[in-house]
Structure 1
């Protein structure tokens, strides 16, 4: 696994030891990030990488200009791999790693408290010199389930923080009801400019959207299907805020 473009182009990523993770192929990743570049969602973005595995999607986003990434995976091996990759790239100060079940993470106070009010980060924020972070140190072997490996503390801007971009690449066997449940919990962490990318097997049905969300674009690559999801516009004014993203639904296959 490697980063294919941006500041860390060519950097190899450590895979979780003994895992059966399914990294996104370079072909799919290249097309995905080309589309995200076109939507203008990457620069200075707050990113959430669910079912992170080695963190390939989150690190690719960082390489292309994202400010910060929260990585979530229930496997301890994945948390350790992400921590190792962040340190190797020198961006552990801009990452948070959560060894937690995704539903539990999204239900937790450390997430629910983030969307009390909507505040976007200042344009150009890079997150490189934020203070109050607990560094990883040598404690990787002591990681317990649900533990935040790299956490920012004493931050004034965490309240009201939203995610500009969410990657959701669950194991293909994960049921459609579970996917819908996770998407429903995500809705409160988004605004009208946010994009959620869901990766599923192309043979599986299109994910069922909760009431607050809609698929505005989909694209198929052989065995892989990508679904681009956004909040539904409740009014013409809200649609304008979305900067035209998803104004016309598009289904593509290659």
Structure 2
């Protein structure tokens, strides 16, 4: 069972796709959001949840005050689960894009303050680098935007695109969370 940890929808359960995803554990989400909330005020921020799966990260952000979340999920069954979760929750400013993270990252559109990227472990470092670079090159990030990437703990830190600096890395068992931030000087 996956549930929202805290905020206005704390304790609400989320449906999870039957296979092909691994939702971020409650322990990791709790630690991640504690760190994120010490770094920035989530009130009204625009969130992008790439490789969204059940949407646990984006829905957690909305529960804690984010104003908007866009969920990007390539798998059709997982996108249907995301839509079902969105219908069950009280959040209204939600967009679900059933397309690849790479295609979404290079398309024109709104800019985001927080980006979560929790790709399947099979996604290569090179593929992830293209997605992160696409977000920068397509101007999809605000000045000071925070990028949070979840990978297997045996993975190397992502190659952050130019203009994004590494903030921190933290391991939680077999999961590693890497933080980057768009430099405000350019």
TM tier, shorter chain?
Answer: over 0.9
Q: Shift of the alpha carbon at 1:14?
A: 0.7
1:176 maps to which residue?
Answer: 125
TM-score by length of 2: 0.93
Deviates more, 1:5-14 or 1:203-212: 203-212
Q: Shift of the alpha carbon at 1:232?
A: 3.2
2:13 maps to which residue?
Answer: 12
- Say whether 1:26 aligns with 2:32: no
Q: 1:58-97, aligned counterparts within 5 Å?
A: 58-91=58-91, 93-97=92-96
1:206 maps to which residue?
Answer: 157
RMSD over aligned Cα atoms: 1.3
3-state secondary structure, aligned to 2:116: strand
Q: Shift of the alpha carbon at 1:104?
A: 1.1
1:35 maps to which residue?
Answer: 35
Q: Cα distance 1:41–1:171, how it changes in 2: closer, same or farther (>3 A)?
A: farther
Q: Shift of the alpha carbon at 1:233?
A: 4.7
1:102 maps to which residue?
Answer: 101
In 2, Cα distance between equivalents of 1:23 and 1:204: 18
Q: 1:221-240, aligned counterparts within 5 Å?
A: 221-234=172-185
In 2, Cα distance between equivalents of 1:54 and 1:202: 21
Q: 1:130-141, aligned counterparts within 5 Å?
A: none
Which one of 113, 134, 139 corresponds to residue 164 of structure 1?
113
Given that residues 41 and 164 in structure 1 are in contact (C-alpha distance below 8 angstroms), is that contact kept between their aligned partners in structure 2?
A: no
Structure 1, gaps ≥5 residues long:
115-160, 239-254
Q: Deviations over 1:96-151 (max 9, x none)?
A: 0000011111223xxx1x3xxxxxxxxxxxxxxxxxxxxxxxxxxxxxxxxxxxxx
3-state secondary structure, aligned to 1:174: coil
In 2, Cα distance between equivalents of 1:225 and 1:36: 15
Q: Deviations over 1:166-204 (max 9, x none)?
A: 100001121111111111011221122210100011111
- Say whether 1:48 aligns with 2:45: no
Structure 2, gaps ≥5 residues long:
none
Higher Rg of the two aligned structures: 1
